[in-house]
Amino acid sequence: MSLGTWGLSGDAYGKVEIADARRVIERSLELGVTLFDAADAYGGGAMEKLLGEMVGKHPATVIVTKGGTDRSTEPARKRFERDYIRASAEKSLKRLGRDRIDLYLLHNPSVDALLVDDAVGVVGEMKKEGLIGAWGVSAGDSEVARTAIQRGAEVIELAYNLVHSVDLHRLAGEIMIARVGVLARSPLAYGLLAGEWTATREFDEGDHRRERWTRLELERRLQQIDALRYLVRGDVPTLRAAAVRFVLANNLVSSAVLGPRTVEQLEQLVREVGMGPLYLPDEEMSKLPMILSRVGIAT
């Protein structure tokens, strides 16, 4: 399990005090987390700077960051020109305070952006120069991820969870053949799979979920996840635990990128997920495709 910092930046769910973000990162290190996921767009580089201060000198840790989002305009825009990506990576490297970026991801490019040599070519050059250790793509869908693999990406980051598994499953063969690493983001589907919401759930200003789901969509999603509660039994105490265990049970997944915003949330996740590797029983996993299909979730 790894720590994602989008939520800690305040960009995703509303303001987070810097002291609280520090406590989450510090506790993650104490619990043995070794991979930290950021982007130059998270807090305008603030998360990179914070990770550089708190994680940068820790041995055996991996910092992942991303580039390709230009926040100097309103609204922000995607940019994958050669000069822009190189300049962004160099700024990220300075904020992280390391000799190189362990893993650099192009941040949600289109297929067309990957087919032009600019972005892919420059990250390849930076790897040869030692500025980055490996490169990949944070992909919005399976077609972008497939193109990234074909262009030589060493890692892909995809949304993967109980209610959105289809993209990773479509790519399984290609991932195995190319031996690509997989970072699974959104294992709790932005909190939906915590299993604690009601249909009257309201989201505050500044919370991206306020715009993500209409009231009807949220009601439909909540009805769907009720069908998954059979997973909560034995040593699986909550739907939240079942959701993260589902992600970790897939042997294609290198790491599940968790997004706790408090120490309490972090400790709860670590405690409930347990030690593995038998994250969910095979018989329970074998029922999932049929159950998901029955409630309208593609697998």
The first and second tokens of residue 92, run together, are: 């990220």
pLDDT, position 169: 96
Strand partners, 131: none
User: What is the share, in percent, of the chain residues with pLDDT greater than 70?
Assistant: 100
Residue 128 lies in a domain: yes
Per-residue model confidence as pLDDT tens digits over 61-116: 999 999 999 988 888 899 999 999 999 999 999 999 999 999 999 999 999 999 98
Residue 126: exposure state from Cβ atoms within 10 A (0-12, 13-18, ≥19): buried
Say how many domains are in the chain: 1
pLDDT in tens, 178-222: 999 999 999 999 999 999 999 899 999 889 999 999 999 999 999
- Indicate whether 232 belongs to any domain: no
Max CA separation in the chain (angstroms): 54
Strand partners, 64: 37, 103
- Structural domain includes residue 280: yes
Overall residue count recorded for the chain in this entry: 299
Instruction: State residue 73's pLDDT score.
Output: 83
* Segments forming the whole domain that contains residue 143: 2-189+240-284
Q: Is residue 150 part of a domain?
A: yes
Does 158 reside within a domain? yes
Averaged over 253-267, what is the pLDDT? 97
CA 166 to chain CA centroid, nearest Å: 16
Can you tell me the distance from the alpha carbon of 159 to that of 214, in angstroms, rounded to the nearest whole number?
20
Residue 103 lies in a domain: yes
* Contact (Cβ atoms closer than 8 angstroms) between residue 141 and residue 148: no
Quick one: pLDDT at residue 74?
83
**Alpha helices, H only, 106-190:** 111-115, 117-129, 142-150, 166-170, 172-178
Nearest to 51 by CA among 114, 4, 91: 4
The reply to whether 34 falls in a domain is: yes
In a domain, 82, yes or no: yes
- 3-class DSSP state of 186: coil
Checking if the pLDDT of 8 tops 90, the result is: yes
Q: What is the CATH number of the domain that holds 258?
A: 3.20.20.100
